[in-house]
Amino acid sequence: MDTQRDSGDEAKMIASILAGETQLYHELVRPHERSVYLMALSYMKNEADAEDVAQEAFLKAFRALSSFRAESKFGTWLISITLNEARNRLRRKSAAPMQSLDVPPDEEGAVSPALLRDWREVPSEALERSEVKQMIASAVEALPEIYRSVFVLRDVEELSVNETAEALSLSVPAVKVRLHRARMMLQKQLAPQLRTVTATAKRRWFPW
């Protein structure tokens, strides 16, 4: 998310756009392109559909701009439009009933992490390797939907817990519980896989 621009600036831009300076909409949305696309990708799971959903969400937000209420942030409002768009599209796509989106998940039962005796830090440079990137992206994409959306907003897009709750229409405690589970699920899945990365890292990074 863009931290350079505060919501006061956005409110002014929105007022100008509604007053007829529609070209400002290009500038208004630029800082939000990535978060909207990632949200769409986490639902659609392929780049082409995600891009389509993202474009559609930006168009719908423009058409609905006069209904935007300044008490919420433009970014979180956009995310909720994106979410609706993605869900509608998935619903249309499959005749089969999909995982229920509204019923609260089973909040019982903790997720057990992968047990390790030590942990060797995987440095960010490891992400230069496509198989490591892919490993992490796939694990995030494989999370059950209710955990994935919370995780993507909070830990990938780095929204606050409150913003995440607002964008997803969830309570703050629900966000915290889901975030915790998502993190534990990822640790369980990724920690053993990433260990193999560090085990071979030395040889691969320093071939001499």
Q: How far apart are CA 159 and CA 156, in angstroms?
A: 8
The reply on whether position 158 binds other proteins by CB under 8 A is yes
Task: For residue 119, give the nearest of 188, 194, 202, 184 by alpha carbon.
Answer: 194
**Minimal distance, residue 61 CB to other proteins, in Å:** 10
User: What distances in angstroms separate CA 36 from CA 18, 97, 121, 123, 182, one per listed residue?
Assistant: 22, 25, 30, 27, 20
* Backbone angles phi and psi of 202, in degrees to 5: -55, -50
The structure tokens 């998935």 sit at 90
CB 165 within 8 A of CB 171: yes
Task: Return the number of the residue (147 or 166) whose C-beta is nearest other proteins.
Answer: 147
Q: Which residue in 3, 8, 20, 23 binds other proteins (CB under 8 A)?
A: 23
Q: Which residue in 2, 22, 173, 205 binds other proteins (CB under 8 A)?
A: 22
**Minimal distance, residue 11 CB to other proteins, in Å:** 19
Which residues bind to other proteins, rule: CB under 8 A?
Answer: 22-23, 25-26, 29-30, 33-34, 37-38, 41, 47, 51, 54-55, 58-59, 62, 110, 112-119, 121-122, 124, 126-128, 133, 136-137, 140, 151, 155-156, 158, 161, 176, 179-180, 183-184, 186-187, 190-191, 194
